Amino acid sequence: MALDSKTEFKYIGTRPDRPDGMDKVTGKARYGADAYAPGMLHGAVVRSPHAHAKIVKIDASKALAMKGVKAVVTRADFATDLEGEDWDLLENTIAGEKTLYDGHAVAAVAATSALIAKDAAKLVEVEYEILPCVTDVDAAMADGAPVIRDGAADHSVPEGLHPNVVRYTEFGRGDVEAGFAAADLVVERDFKTEAVHQGYIEPHACLANLGADGKGELWCCTQGHWFVRRMCTALLGLETTQLRVTASEIGGGFGGKTTVFIDPIALALSRAAGKPVKLVMSRSEVLKASGPTSSASMNVKMGMTKDGKLTAATAVFRMQGGAFPGAPMDMTTMLAFSCYDLDNVHHEGFDVMTNRPKQAAYRAPGAPMGAFAVESVMDELCQGLGLDPIDARLTNAVKEGTKSSFGPRYKAVGLIETLEAAKAHPHYSAPLAENTGRGIASGYWMNWGGETSTSLAIGEDGTVQVGVGTPDIGGSRASMALMAAETLGIPYENVRVDVVDTASLGVNEPSHGSRATYASGLAVIESAREAITKLSKRAADKWGIDAEAVEWRDGAAHPSGPNAGDFTPLSIADIAGEMGSTGGPITGHHDASPTGFGGSFGTHIVDVHVDPDTGKSTVVRYTVVQDAGKAIHPSYVEGQFQGGAAQGIGWALNEEYIYDDDGRLQNDVFLDYRIPVASDLPMIDTVIVEVPNPGHPYGVRGVGETGITPPLPAVACAISHAIGHRMTRLPISPPRVLRAIQGKGIS
Amino acid sequence: MKYHTPATFEDAVGIAANATGVTRFLAGGTDVLVQLRADIVTPDDLIDVKHIPGVRDMTQNPDGSWTIGVAVAGAEMTENPALIADWPGVVEGMDLIGSTQVQGRATLTGNLCNGSPAGDAVPGMIAAGASVSVTGPDGSREVAVEDIPTGPGRTSLAKGEMVTAVHLPARGQNGGDAYLRFIPRTEMDIAVVGCAVNLRVDGDTITEARVALGAVAPTARLVEDAATALIGSKLDDAALEALAAAASAACNPIDDKRGTIEFRTHVAGVLAQRAAKIAYARARGEK
Ligand SMILES: Cc1cc2nc3c(=O)[nH]c(=O)nc-3n(C[C@H](O)[C@H](O)[C@H](O)COP(=O)(O)OP(=O)(O)OC[C@H]3O[C@@H](n4cnc5c(N)ncnc54)[C@H](O)[C@@H]3O)c2cc1C
């Protein structure tokens, strides 16, 4: 769908209160764990304490004998004929022959109270035969590493690699050797990042009700309830549409709630017990057994001439995604050099299995690691050649028509605009205090369209209800209402937006891929346009003129000109008040898999102070500049920019999954899994750049993911400048910084 | 699990002495209840001390010393200007614990008796020369705070014994104390290193000093060599260097997810110097 000629907006670009705000701040909003049903049971999951072990025997007799226990399920209670990703999903949901990571589910109990369920879970006796384990990506690829699952590799993997390498990619163009030879400076570095968790505040929670007839209902906290429906019905051997899934309010997801962990287990327990079953993860379960992102081991080499032109670039990315294929190495390789116009470029990626939980999406999955390595090398090149880091980026920046490092040519994109805005920002030229360094980095995410279905219905008083299938994870209801209001020409307050259940619309992909405001928004606009056509027809019928002679403007039907006749305009309320007798309900509907999504570039500036005596880093100033295409609700765009920066800062400084030699997770609580707290961060300044996306009526690009891509390198470069040592390993924790300052290396 | 609400220390001690399983006292519960919910410790007998009269009192005695009840929450200490004027270091150690919500419950006694080497209120109490009253089936005794912890999660309290009050000595003239901890974040974290310094000056010269370290050994500890480095000095560079060296030398830490041995050892010296400077300024009335 093409960009409208419309450039003057009445509602879009304003900042009204979000419709869900009042419920959320007063505690009325219902999240995953806020659901209750008559006769409801509570579930508890039995989890493996071993990183890698054969399950010899499961004896649930003692648990079943306990008063109040109504059911125990194991792998035997799920579908048996699955293949590919469905089999992986089931194997991750509940272990089959082996447990593959610390916290892997083995069995589950349903009982009349949460306490009984928890106690009963301890009585399920599981006999294990412990196997050697591996959690580090480089160690998992090395000769002699324990094999997680033989035969898991696909055809892409060259001969001779360890069976834990399950996918391989290699692509590029030009002559990189010639390119490096033409460079005045070549920098090559190894980098490492640790696995991190999305850190959403709401743990996974659901309430399942499944009958012996294969019909069921599920209430759950998710980013995408159609995905949940498809996955759960596959894992339980049900027909897709016989399960109705309702999404609760959601306390954060960041990609981690686009798959299932406990929902199939709750459904299996409910089917076995014949009662509704509620299942809620603890924080420790979330950290151990949901889907953190990959850790990565990387090598990047880039060459540059003394006037700042990149001559060649190569990258190798080794990424572990837990005990299953799926580490996002395809995205990492694709987007690593996405900012730069390169003739000679080559990428290699390895997807490696380890004894860790199955990775899930995390905000721009795979992109931040690649950006960390590439932008750090870019920074070092600029430093070595005495070039301004923004000027050097401008010299190489992609623009409309540039052939991307991964193949296709870019449509209209805003990298240059973000670089220029960053350069003009007072932050960039502000003086730096002692022991403080400044980092600059750019990043990209290409965004997504995906299956989308929305509906819109006019109420008898002319107000409007909109139904969407993308859970509201960052203010999207407000954005949908603004787009509907703008299209219909009615006040924002007259539009109600609901996230409706899977029985109410066609298939919707989750709120992932930065797609909700783009794709659901586009469908809402089209739904409104369909309703306008119908509203105009009612006016035309009443006036006895052709529908084409009616013009819709300012929320009312008008005769399109003097030739159409002289009629008093009919407002949406006038038409709606009579609709029962003029042809019945008036609705609009739109189904699509829109492909006109447009990627978003961002450039970040950060100042970090380092305490030279303790190695402690403090982010003292941070500015995000990003292309939104069109900011429908600027406050929620800024919120996404700030949130991405906050999560990226955490990833750069302190967050990491720490496993011991036995593969046990050492930091499964927020005390030791250190996400930034509010007082760790400065107010994050934002600049919204608007280079309209030609593929959306109002120019919208997604903005959710790009913001986490530049912070890793920006923070790392700032610290590197503050202390005079290049930091190539995350997290850049105080002990690591202190070692670097003391000249002891950075391992 | 049995939950008890004794009305006297005698009753509480009686219940604890006769209990046969795992026993815990419940002050603020910010350790006990967290450990219960995380399946780390499930007590058979839980003895709530908050129903005993006087446990919420904070009293300055005629000699200037302080008696702090075993259920006085951090938030009550940080709102007591006279206590803060006397023992700012003790109060800032307590104040660092947790969040606003946790401050409404957490106590000095709980922090001490939980036995964590990283307890933030403990080094400040040790540096201040604080003691606790202990009552048990065999009577009562006064114990220096540094003699309570014996190892991670362990104390010198015998079965049936409990703390009934914390005593802080009279501040006296020209004294000052301070506590600093190192955490990678700004809040809601556990000390990687903690250091408290308490000293008295005569003019520019330090006449008395006590230095205590937390999180760098199996228990919080009093570091006498560090005090020796300060006493008689004007907190000049040589004294500060000797202080850091003594603090680092006293460390016997572990490598773990929170910090490495070399990091903790180095930062102990850094914090000792910084805390000493603050305490020195306070002692000299510079604040
Ligand atoms: C979110 C959060 C953040 C925290 N942050 C910090 C921090 O920054 N620094 C820090 O040091 N701690 C921290 N803690 C731990 C805890 O808050 C402190 O240790 C607190 O001081 C404990 O006091 P309490 O009164 O809650 O103890 P309780 O939990 O009631 O008791 C703790 C222990 O003391 C024993 N006990 C209690 N009273 C007596 C008595 N009269 N006689 C003998 N034994 C007794 C109990 O048996 C138990 O073993 C945090 C806790 C939470 C939940």
Same domain for A604 and A737, yes or no, is yes
Q: What pTM did the predictor assign?
A: 0.97
Chain A: give the shortest CA distance to residue B181, in Å: 11
Assigned domain for A61 exists: no
Interchain proximity B263–A615, CB inside 8 Å: yes
Assigned domain for A48 exists: no
Nearest to A599 by CA among A695, A524, A685: A695
DSSP-derived 3-state class of residue A412? coil
Same domain for A381 and A442, yes or no, is yes
Same domain for A564 and A630, yes or no, is no
DSSP code per residue over A338-404 = TTB--SSEEEEEEEE--SSPPP---SSTTHHHHHHHHHHHHHHHHHHHT--HHHHHHHHB--TTPBP
CB of B98 sitting under 6 A from ligand 1: yes
Look-up of token digits 């670009």: A13
Chain A residues within an 8 Å CB radius of B266 = 738
Interchain proximity A734–B266, CB inside 8 Å: no
For residue A421, give its domain range: 366-447+598-741
CB of B31 sitting under 6 A from ligand 1: yes
Residue B97 token pair? 């614990």
Q: Are A423 and A498 in contact (CB under 8 A)?
A: no
Position B258 pLDDT exceeds 90: no
Same domain for A582 and A634, yes or no, is no
DSSP-derived 3-state class of residue A258? coil
- What's the number of CA atoms in the CB half-sphere (13 Å) around residue A612? 11
Picking from A592, A609, A628, the residue at the C-terminal end of a domain is A592
Report d(CA A130, CA A127) in Å as an integer: 10
Residue B20 token pair? 């046969």
Q: Are A66 and A252 in contact (CB under 8 A)?
A: no
**What pLDDT, on the 0 to 100 scale, is given for residue A561?**
87
Look-up of token digits 């105009």: A536
CA distances to A362, A473, A608 from A252, in Å: 11, 6, 27
Assigned domain for A293 exists: no
Same domain for A549 and A658, yes or no, is no
Same domain for A722 and A588, yes or no, is no
Assigned domain for A183 exists: no
Sign of the Cα torsion A399, A395, A177, A720 reads negative
Sign of the Cα torsion A499, A502, A508, A512 reads positive
Same domain for A629 and A675, yes or no, is yes
Determine the distance from the C-alpha atom of residue A547 to the mean position of all C-alpha atoms in its chain, rounded to a whole number: 44
Give B 34-93 residues with CB within 8 A of chain A: 38
CB of B272 sitting under 6 A from ligand 1: no
Look-up of token digits 């008689």: B232
Assigned domain for A527 exists: yes
CATH number of the CATH domain containing A439? 3.30.365.10
Interchain proximity A674–B270, CB inside 8 Å: no
**What pLDDT, on the 0 to 100 scale, is given for residue A7?**
76
Same domain for A481 and A403, yes or no, is no
What's the first-to-final CA gap in chain A, in angstroms? 51
Question: Phi-psi bin for A211: left (phi > 0), alpha (psi -120 to 50), beta?
Answer: beta
Same domain for A480 and A586, yes or no, is yes
**What pLDDT, on the 0 to 100 scale, is given for residue A746?**
60
- What's the number of CA atoms in the CB half-sphere (13 Å) around residue B176? 18
Nearest to A354 by CA among A647, A658, A125, A145: A145
Same domain for A483 and A572, yes or no, is yes
ipTM value, please give it: 0.95
Assigned domain for A418 exists: yes
Q: Which residue of B has its CA nearest to A667?
A: B257
> Which residues contact residue A683 at a Cβ distance below 8 angstroms, ignoring those fewer than 6 apart?
none
Interchain proximity A734–B189, CB inside 8 Å: no
Total domains in chain A come to 2
Question: Phi-psi bin for A54: left (phi > 0), alpha (psi -120 to 50), beta?
Answer: beta
Picking from A554, A572, A592, the residue at the C-terminal end of a domain is A592
Same domain for A443 and A501, yes or no, is no
Assigned domain for A348 exists: no
Determine the distance from the C-alpha atom of residue A532 to the mean position of all C-alpha atoms in its chain, rounded to a whole number: 34
CB of B27 sitting under 6 A from ligand 1: yes
Look-up of token digits 């850049």: A732
Picking from A592, A627, A649, the residue at the C-terminal end of a domain is A592
3-state helix, strand, coil in chain B (%, to 5): 35, 25, 40
Residue B104 token pair? 């409404």
| Cis bond upstream, residue A731 (ω within 30) | yes
Report d(CA A182, CA A177) in Å as an integer: 9
Interchain proximity A671–B189, CB inside 8 Å: yes
DSSP code per residue over B207-264 = EEEEEEEESSSSS-EE-HHHHHHHTTS-S-HHHHHHHHHHHHHT-----BTTB-HHHH
Same domain for A531 and A584, yes or no, is yes
Nearest CA to ligand 1 atom 13: B97
Report d(CA A516, CA A202) in Å as an integer: 20
Domains of chain B: residue spans and CATH: 175-283 (3.30.390.50)
Average pLDDT, 10 consecutive residues per value, chain A (747 residues): 80 97 96 98 98 98 98 98 96 98 98 97 98 98 97 96 98 98 98 98 98 96 98 98 98 98 98 98 97 98 98 98 97 98 98 98 98 98 98 98 97 98 98 98 97 98 98 96 98 98 98 97 98 98 96 97 92 98 98 97 98 98 98 98 98 97 96 95 98 96 97 98 98 97 79
Chain B residues within an 8 Å CB radius of A738 = 263, 266-267
- The answer to whether A114 faces chain B, any CB pair under 8 Å, is no
Assigned domain for A5 exists: no
What's the first-to-final CA gap in chain B, in angstroms? 49
Bridge partner list, B143? B132
